Structure 1
């Protein structure tokens, strides 16, 4: 039996979450814990921060904030009543501010952070405020080492298409969604739940998803066991009247959800699971498959985005939407029309028989899955991957896995490692040249070219009709394919 998560619960405490109320359709019919509160955001233009600020304005807060530069997000916030300054100084915090919300990038020495401390204001991280806001909605939190952004975007798209008017915060932008965050009038709040810094421990959702669990963020966690324990705490925070959805094949997921109070449902492809995707057929550029829930045929789905892993993500999205009361025919239409999220196998352009794609993949499993999906979906004559490693520490900890991740690429080009959150010891312990040699030892062609301009020049000299060039990584490696497209279309060097 499915848990009834489609009933409205306006949540001011975890206990209140268990008391369903009548659904509301207006953003401003009742007071909230944020009504009249003066809340200041440091870094208000960020995707998550701007969406959160918008929601707090809708909940009656008086919002101010700063950022380095103006953007469409800050302009929208100004239009609905936020006071925004583009000088990040101590004086930027208004006189009667009560709470200061900081993005993860803000350090204690930041002038606004230091001023908030001096004035003894309440300082909260973005994830902490996200958790407080979630208590006012039906929370849907999607976690996992891989696939979070795509699945969060897909769920948001399905609920939007079904007229549920959800709020959401996605870790990637999507033109189809109008950006990466939205404040809706409906009951559902869909968020990407990140395990780094144990941020997702601030969330108490009605629906919790754990797509997969692998070693990552080993600059923060000691080992895989500690990562699994962190996901277990997240699972235990899902409302007991709700549901946890997790992989039927991932042993780490099974460990993490073993003691969850909420009902646990599994998903999988062509294996025994509560939610099964079966009979995958591919034609006309789409994957077509049947979804079965506990032995009952729910219906067929068609998926336009590439990759077997996205069949799993679509099955999870369909499961969540079903639990939210969306009819299957609406789910099927929405999933077929979903175009993906930016930097997730995103086609940047094509010219002279060459296709240029960009992807955010920065973990070995993501790289393998994405390269296989690109090869199967587009069938290029050659697949050339420009991979920028993200963090020296991640590259060092997962070096053997990275070295085996490029079996589906004909050529791999590696620039210098993107330096972030690393120590000097990490920086000295590994470099891109070491990774390239390890890739070669695994029988694949690879080369180290230090800078993006050098890579662009090399690719332009050597590319051939039938090639697919993919830039890949969590850093700014997308600049390579952007520049390639500009150059081949006649714009010349940027």
Structure 2
């Protein structure tokens, strides 16, 4: 990854390969708003591409070397393979090829940058920060890895000098940003297909914190062992300010969470009630982080607390898909055991005394191999756990690695095929129950199908 920020004005005409992706379209949307000539392609004709076309981008469906036109800089999505005809043509022509994060970093120049990193909770926390600041009248630019109903989009060019962005650690690209405020929600072993070892993951977060200037601040979650350890190591270096947030007694921004209607955050001697519309302890912690960011940026604590009440969630983050026969169906992007536990905990709080049924799709062969037992332990919190085949994403199959590695440990569930999944869920769901579709793959499509089968 690069160590210097490429000036936006030096990019010229920018072509995005894979422009339909949520992260890629976010960067393209901001560049178009800032007057950069943008073109882009994707394998499928996606709704966001129509939005970009209407905003002034030149869009094509399908990959072809001719689509490059007179582009001067190329941005390639992480899912684009080396033999992609557009990428191959760009490299043959000697055009600079930027990672999405490098292109996003170019749009951040001259801004007070807030980045949100962590193994889990990045999209939700970034969304909360953006919604809070917008409600408080600061109008930030933002780029988020999920659509946010309260904002209408996942990225926008704002009028202020504040830029809020999700910082993805999965491939180390979060080291391309230069934040003034860095939030770290948690630090756990994940993405070992990239890092190799847990120690390498922890070291990358140390490098991320080291990007902060002397006048900057690291906001780390005191309730998470990995984030707390990062805060302690960073504070020991004395190069930047460190603040912690959470329910821990020694947290600088203290969260009080006694249930959905009794969440408050204390800073100094003052305690402020939070009227949150999203359930779960993890979301209360995310809200505490967003509150801390806003106060750091000069928002009055009372205004920050009130603004959080406008956050209704992010796409695929415990998102209600509908209901039928008294059964509520939610969808969640959770794809790590800790995330699955958090999603099921939120489902329990919503279900009350009724049952929770989960349809889980493992994401990546490598992650399934590393965490099969932990996934089974997390899924044990459901009354019924049905497991689909692995969603491979960017990976080729690994011999011996199947969803059975998880399902074989379950006493409350089993494997299901794609064709029987919907009927299997509907057969066990009773009035008042909660159904949760979980995973980072195409399992999200099952939610509406389940709602339809329930007659909703």
Normalised-by-shorter TM-score class: over 0.9
Q: Which residue of 2 aligns with 1:79?
A: 54
State whether structure 2 residue 174 is matched by structure 1 residue 200: yes
Distance across 1 between alignment mates of 2:196 and 2:47? 39
Q: Which residue of 1 aligns with 2:258?
A: 281
| Contact 1:389 1:395 survives alignment (8 Å) | yes
Q: Which residue of 2 aligns with 1:127?
A: 101
| Contact 2:347 2:436 survives alignment (8 Å) | no
Distance 1:414 1:71, change over 3 A: closer
Q: Secondary structure in 1 aligned to 2:379?
A: coil
Q: Which residue of 1 aligns with 2:399?
A: 428
State whether structure 2 residue 90 is matched by structure 1 residue 116: yes
RMSD over aligned Cα, in angstroms?
1.9
State whether structure 2 residue 351 is matched by structure 1 residue 374: no
Q: Which residue of 2 aligns with 1:467?
A: 433
Aligned length: 448
Within a 5 Å distance, the mapping from 1:132-281 to structure 2 comes to 132-257=106-231, 258-259=233-234, 261-278=239-256, 280-281=257-258
Q: Give 1:57 deviation, angstroms.
A: 2.9
Q: Which residue of 2 aligns with 1:29?
A: none
Structure 2-normalised TM-score? 0.93
State whether structure 2 residue 38 is matched by structure 1 residue 63: yes
Q: Give 1:78 deviation, angstroms.
A: 2.6
Q: Which residue of 2 aligns with 1:51?
A: 26
Distance across 2 between alignment mates of 1:153 and 1:53? 18
Distance across 2 between alignment mates of 1:36 and 1:396? 41
Higher mean displacement: 37-46 or 308-317: 37-46
Distance across 2 between alignment mates of 1:223 and 1:33? 35
| Contact 2:422 2:453 survives alignment (8 Å) | no
Distance across 2 between alignment mates of 1:270 and 1:36? 46
Q: Give 1:380 deviation, angstroms.
A: 4.6
Q: Give 1:481 deviation, angstroms.
A: 1.8
Distance across 1 between alignment mates of 2:21 and 2:425? 33
Q: Which residue of 2 aligns with 1:20?
A: none
State whether structure 2 residue 284 is matched by structure 1 residue 306: no
Structure 1-normalised TM-score? 0.86
Distance across 2 between alignment mates of 1:240 and 1:79? 42
Q: Which residue of 2 aligns with 1:24?
A: none
Distance across 1 between alignment mates of 2:86 and 2:441? 27
Q: Which residue of 2 aligns with 1:93?
A: 68
- Greater Rg by CA: 1
Q: Secondary structure in 2 aligned to 1:179?
A: coil
| Contact 1:208 1:244 survives alignment (8 Å) | yes
Q: Give 1:417 deviation, angstroms.
A: 1.3
Distance 1:400 1:104, change over 3 A: same
Q: Give 1:59 deviation, angstroms.
A: 3.3
State whether structure 2 residue 455 is matched by structure 1 residue 482: no
Q: Give 1:56 deviation, angstroms.
A: 2.1
Q: Give 1:381 deviation, angstroms.
A: 1.9
Higher mean displacement: 106-115 or 49-58: 49-58
CA deviation string 1:52-97 (max 9, x = no partner): 12322333322222223444432333333322222421111122x2
